[in-house]
Each structure stands twice: as structure tokens, then as C-alpha cells.
Amino acid sequence: MIQEDMRVMAHEEIADHIFELKLQGQMVQQITEPGQFVHVRISGKTDAVAPLLRRPISICSADVKSRTLTLIYRSGGLRTGTELLTHTRTGDTVDVLGPLGHGFPVSEAPAPARALIIGGGVGVPPLYGLSQALAKRGIQVTHVLGFRSAKDVFYQTNFEELGKTFVMTEDGTYGRCGRVTDLLETVPFDIAYACGPTPMLRALEQTITDKPLFVSLEQRMACGIGACMACVTQTTDPNDAKGYRRVCCDGPVFKAREVEL
């Protein structure tokens, strides 16, 4: 983990309020797993104090050769920190802490195997790097990506290059109408990975009980490195020695049903 002023190589809006930010720096070499995240300081200049806290953003993908990582984030709009981030331009630097946390265990999939990747909204980004890693190992990957509406869809073609991709929207304005869980029965798989809103993850934990499932969680964070205890979540096992996990450093990826959602 390092703190680095990373250089903005590209920054563009790829869907409604969704931005793709490419950053270059040494940090890329330290990334070990898809699903790790970085902690981004929005108020870079002159010791600015508002917004004060960093924002956790998943690493979408990384390229060691060009020392570049890609983030995809949603701007929360007026008066949010991420809105301020949208003003960053190519050539600027952004203060980034990372890579942080434990990502998706790619080796858990006994190759050759069929992996199912399920994403919702801004939970989709880390799954792209995951799918790349799985595909590289020769694993057959199927993607089920849920968005609210047509205007929110991003990265469909990127995923399609890696495997079969179902896009769904809640309001039916694009792809299939419905929720990602609606499709589960029709897709054969040996292992599943998911990232998205908590209700989605909860539904998946209830449905996928006979095969390995890994879920990536969100929690409000302060330090991002395990020191402040802001991001804890209880273990489902009441006899667990610690009784809790920190999403920032024990996660954000957990085995299904390891912690309370």
C-alpha cells in the first residue's frame, strides 16, 4: 500500500453521472487481486479540508505495463465529494491511497470451470478486472449486469469481449427487464462473484447456497486501512473469535454468509 499522486491519463463521462478515470503511477505494481480498492482524496489542493475524507473506489482494471489503473465512479451530484472529482482533468494529479483490501480470490475457481459474475450499478466496475483475470486463466465467464435504466448502462461491450453478457434494467428501458436474480436459474456456473447494492447481495446469498459465492461489500469508511473501526460488520458466526470483520482490510470481498449483510 502506498500513497501516491497519480497522474490523470483520461477522464470521461461514460454513462449518466458515471465517470471513467484512468490514473498512472507506481501503485499499479502492487495490485494483487481484482476487487481491491483505492482511497481517493478529492480535495487535493493546498491542504484543503472539505471534503475531508477520502472516497473508497474499486479498481476496475489495471495494466501493469502502462502503469495505469481504471476507476469507474458515480458522481453523487451537487454537494458531494465525487462531483468535485469530476472536475479533474487530464494531466492533473490525484492523491490516491492503495491498493487496499482483499479482492476476489481468482484461484478459488478450479480451472476449467464456469464462473458467473453478477453486478449491480456501481458494483459493476471491479467485476471487469475480475472477469479479465478469470478469462486469462481460461475460465468461461458469464456476466449478469443490472442497472436502473438505459442511461446508466456502461461497459457492456467490454464485458461482451470476455464472455456472454446479460444486461438488465429495472425499468426495462434497455436489455432485459427485471433484477439480476431473475436470471440465475438459466445460467450454468460453478462459482459466482457479486458486487452491488446490499439487497442484491442478500438475495444472492439466499439463492446461491450450493456453490461458492463471493460478495464485495460497501461500508462508510474513514481510514480505509483497518485502524478506525468505522467499517466493521458482524460475522454470522457468533462464536467467531473476533466477532467482526473490517470491510476495508478484511474485505471488501467476503465469502458468502461470512458476515451479516
Partner 1 sequence: MIEVHLPGLDLKNPVMPASGCFAFGAEYGALYDLNELGAVTIKAATLQPRFGNSTPRVAETPSGMLNAIGLQNPGADQIIKNELPRLEKQKVPVLANIAGSEVDDYIATAKKISRHPAVNALELNISCPNVKHGGIQFGTVPEVAAELTYKVKAVSEKPVYVKLSPNVTDIVAMAKAVEAAGADGLSMINTLLGMRIDLHTQKPVLANLTGGLSGPAIKPVAIRMIYEVSQKVTIPIIGMGGIQNADDVIEFFLAGASAVAVGTANFVDPFVCPKIIKELPEKLNTMGVTDINELIGRSWKK
Using CB under 6 A, which residues numbered 117 to 156 contact ligand FAD?
A: 122, 125
Identify the residue whose cell numbers are 480451472.
111
Minimum distance between the CB of residue 205 and ligand FAD, rounded to whole angstroms?
A: 18
Strand partners, 22: 10, 70
* 177 vs 228 by CB, closer to ligand FES: 228
CA dist., res. 19 & res. 70, Å (int): 10
Pairing state between β 2-15 and 93-100:
antiparallel
Window contacting ligand FAD (CB under 6 A); options: 49-57, 110-118, 155-163, 165-173: 49-57
CA dist., res. 33 & res. 21, Å (int): 19
Does position 53 bind partner 1 by CB under 8 A?
A: yes
Where does this chain bind ligand FES (CB under 6 A)? 221-224, 226-231, 246, 248
* 76 vs 105 by CB, closer to partner 1: 76
Question: What grid cell was written down for 73?
Answer: 465512479
Q: Is the bond preceding residue 199 a cis peptide, omega within 30 degrees?
A: no
Does position 113 bind partner 1 by CB under 8 A?
A: no
CA dist., res. 39 & res. 111, Å (int): 32
Does position 175 bind partner 1 by CB under 8 A?
A: no
Minimum distance between the CB of residue 95 and partner 1, rounded to whole angstroms?
A: 8
Pairing state between β 213-216 and 140-147:
unpaired
CA dist., res. 9 & res. 150, Å (int): 27
Does position 52 bind ligand FMN by CB under 6 A?
A: no
Using CB under 8 A, which residues numbered 67 to 96 contact partner 1?
A: 79, 81
| 85 phi/psi in degrees, rounded to 5 | -60, -30
| Angle at 43 (CA atoms; ends 59, 232), nearest 5 degrees | 55
Which of 108, 228, 234, 255 forms a contact with ligand FMN (CB under 6 A)? 228
Decide which of ligand FES, ligand FAD, its own copies, none touches 226; Cβ closer than 5 to 8 Å per partner kind.
Answer: ligand FES
Minimum distance between the CB of residue 222 and ligand FAD, rounded to whole angstroms?
A: 8
CA dist., res. 18 & res. 138, Å (int): 30
Does position 64 bind ligand FMN by CB under 6 A?
A: no
Where does this chain bind its own copies (CB under 8 A)? 45-50, 78-80, 83-84, 87
Provide the residue count of the chain: 261
Minimum distance between the CB of residue 196 and ligand FES, rounded to whole angstroms?
A: 20
* 150 vs 222 by CB, closer to ligand FES: 222
* 89 vs 220 by CB, closer to ligand FMN: 220
CA dist., res. 191 & res. 108, Å (int): 8
Rule CB under 6 A: which residues touch ligand FMN? 222, 228
